[in-house]
Amino acid sequence: MKSIVRICVLVAFSFLMGMGAMAQNPDLPSPASNMQTLPSGSLVIAMDNTYQAGPGYFNLKAYGLVVTLLNSGKKLKWVIQSGKAKDGVDFTVNAQKLLPSYVDVTSKSFKSGPFVIFPSDTIGVTALINNFNAAFTGSNANKKVIVYRTTVDVSVDIRYDMLGVKPRAAILDDGGNASIHTKYMTNASIPTANYQVFTTAANLPANCFTFASEPHNEPKNAGQIAAVSKLVDSIRKFVNVDGGNFLAECAAILAYENDANGRFQSTLGLDKPNSLTSSNISYVNSDLPYAQYEGAFDPAAGGSTQSYTRLGGAAANNFYPIIVGKTAALDSVYGASVSKFKPGRGGLVFYLGNHNLDGTAVTDLNGQRMYLNAFLTPAIYPSCPDAAPTAVKLTSFTGTKIDNRQSQLFWSTSFEQDSKEFVIQRSVDGVNFFEIGRVAAIGNSTAVNNYSMFDPAPVPGRNFYRIAEVDIFDKIAFSNVIMLNFATTVPSIELYPNPATQFVMIGFNNLPLKNTINVFDMTGRKMVSNYTVSGNTFKIDVTNYKAGTYIVKVVSPEGKVLQNKFVVVKY
């Protein structure tokens, strides 16, 4: 333990003496406190095992709700108490459980980096939360995200103001293991628009990615080593020049770190002794964003690279550990760590030992949480459209139903500069939006301009609409979201998202319970066979489906047959 303390003191001292403003960066050890008054009536998205344990364990869907609210432009703040120990309290306050069901006031001690919304910023938030939670029905109803409302003022330590943060991840598949990280995203219900699978790390800023990650990647021949070297060059630019964040897991740690142009956290590279277990580790720097999880993590849970140590040399790029051995022999062996390349936001490289942490055991959940914490940590947006809103002032966006068969959408602007077009998008869940049309913009104007568009085929039930304002530089800003409900008594099924990459949801309209589902590919081969569903929705995992068209056939208990098609795409 003395050796660990010595390391942490020396690291902190080097920051203070040598890095100037970097020492107080919220991403680095010894972050400065930023105490603010959280007023009564604020919303709290709990992130600890006690108050966000709907399924009986920590509910990863809380991350999906946070990203959904950020996508909608809501003003969240990430609370992390500076100086707290492992599993320490961020703040204690009297609060009501507000959603998904009400429970009266009790004193609550929130841990693990809760997200808060001030009362002045809560307009429209409850509807978005309810829409997000509406996806969890039947046996999944316990996965609805729990949100609290404070009843007194309280002082909290705001680590990050998340206004304008819209994280978007490029999940790299060079090692053929992208499904590991896409599964983390799926488990947390991160909107599919916020991540995409790629086989190259080239040109990430131009594609508006703020975060990149590589799961297991273990090059075994000259060609594979050369390919990784190109990846390393791209990631170094993405982190060091563009200010994005990057995470490598398992064998990808050594693949990136030991390349001659790597050295993200060391001067001479790393080896993998795999000598750490849950009983011989210390949790350090627990007040930093990567470490916001409650409970244990097992560095020996699995994988070829579970823990790692330097091959001589020294730590580099403001390296600091999150999980480290607690004995003198292991005080330079790590299970999770971070480095930072530049002042300000972003420029972070995260390493995470273990291979696939999918599951609901505490160590699996906490491994996924470290990944999701890294994904949420704010980065620079050098070319991200949402980081630089278009010079368009949208003054209204409304819609109306025509004969209960069509939608007519109206919007107005009072100022436009270099505007190109408006992309109209529709969603059936308020989370995943898809383009249904485009309208050319005036271009440049200081007058009031009115626009409209018909949607000739809204789906039965709720239809959510928003507008993406696009300028001539392809910067994008989103409007508010409106909803039109087209009630129907005609039995039907809805498939979304469509096209799909990871999953497809089947929604049942005006059908009784206990419907039988079959899914076929275009050759007639059954992908899902005679599955009985008792709820109003059913989720199909299409991660292992080949790209192509598939047919869903639903048979009701009375023998009524409905079918529809969906498309699986691979990037």
Q: List domains and CATH numbers for the chain.
A: 35-161 (no CATH), 166-376 (3.40.50.880), 389-486 (2.60.40.10), 492-568 (2.60.40.3080)
Amino acid, res. 377:
T
What pLDDT, on the 0 to 100 scale, is given for residue 126?
94
Q: Name the pLDDT band for 4 (thresholds 50, 70, 90).
A: very low
The proportion of the chain whose per-residue pLDDT surpasses 70, expressed as a percent, equals 92
Name the pTM for this structure: 0.67
Place of tokens 């060391």: 266
What pLDDT, on the 0 to 100 scale, is given for residue 141?
96
What pLDDT, on the 0 to 100 scale, is given for residue 529?
86
User: CA 496 from chain center: how many Å?
Assistant: 19
Distance CA 199, CA 179 (A): 13
Question: What digits encode the pLDDT tens for the residues 170-210?
Answer: 999 988 899 999 999 999 999 998 999 988 887 777 677 89
Q: At what angle do helices 61-71 and 362-376 cross, to 10 degrees?
A: 10
Q: What is the mean pLDDT of residues 12-18?
A: 34
Note whether 459 and 486 are within 8 A (CB).
yes
What pLDDT, on the 0 to 100 scale, is given for residue 15?
36
What pLDDT, on the 0 to 100 scale, is given for residue 571?
56
Amino acid, res. 388:
A
Q: What is the mean pLDDT of residues 305-316?
A: 95
**Helices and strands per DSSP (H, E), number in the chain:** 7, 33
Q: Name the pLDDT band for 18 (thresholds 50, 70, 90).
A: very low
Q: Name the pLDDT band for 235 (thresholds 50, 70, 90).
A: very high
Distance CA 189, CA 131 (A): 13
Q: Name the pLDDT band for 42 (thresholds 50, 70, 90).
A: very high
Note whether 195 and 71 are within 8 A (CB).
no
What pLDDT, on the 0 to 100 scale, is given for residue 22?
46
Q: Give the sign of the dihedral formed by CA 213, CA 388, CA 77, CA 378.
A: positive
Q: What is the mean pLDDT of residues 410-437?
A: 84
User: Is it the case that residue 114 has pLDDT exceeding 80?
Assistant: yes
Q: What average pLDDT does the chain have?
A: 87
User: Is it the case that residue 497 has pLDDT exceeding 80?
Assistant: no
User: Is it the case that residue 16 has pLDDT exceeding 70?
Assistant: no
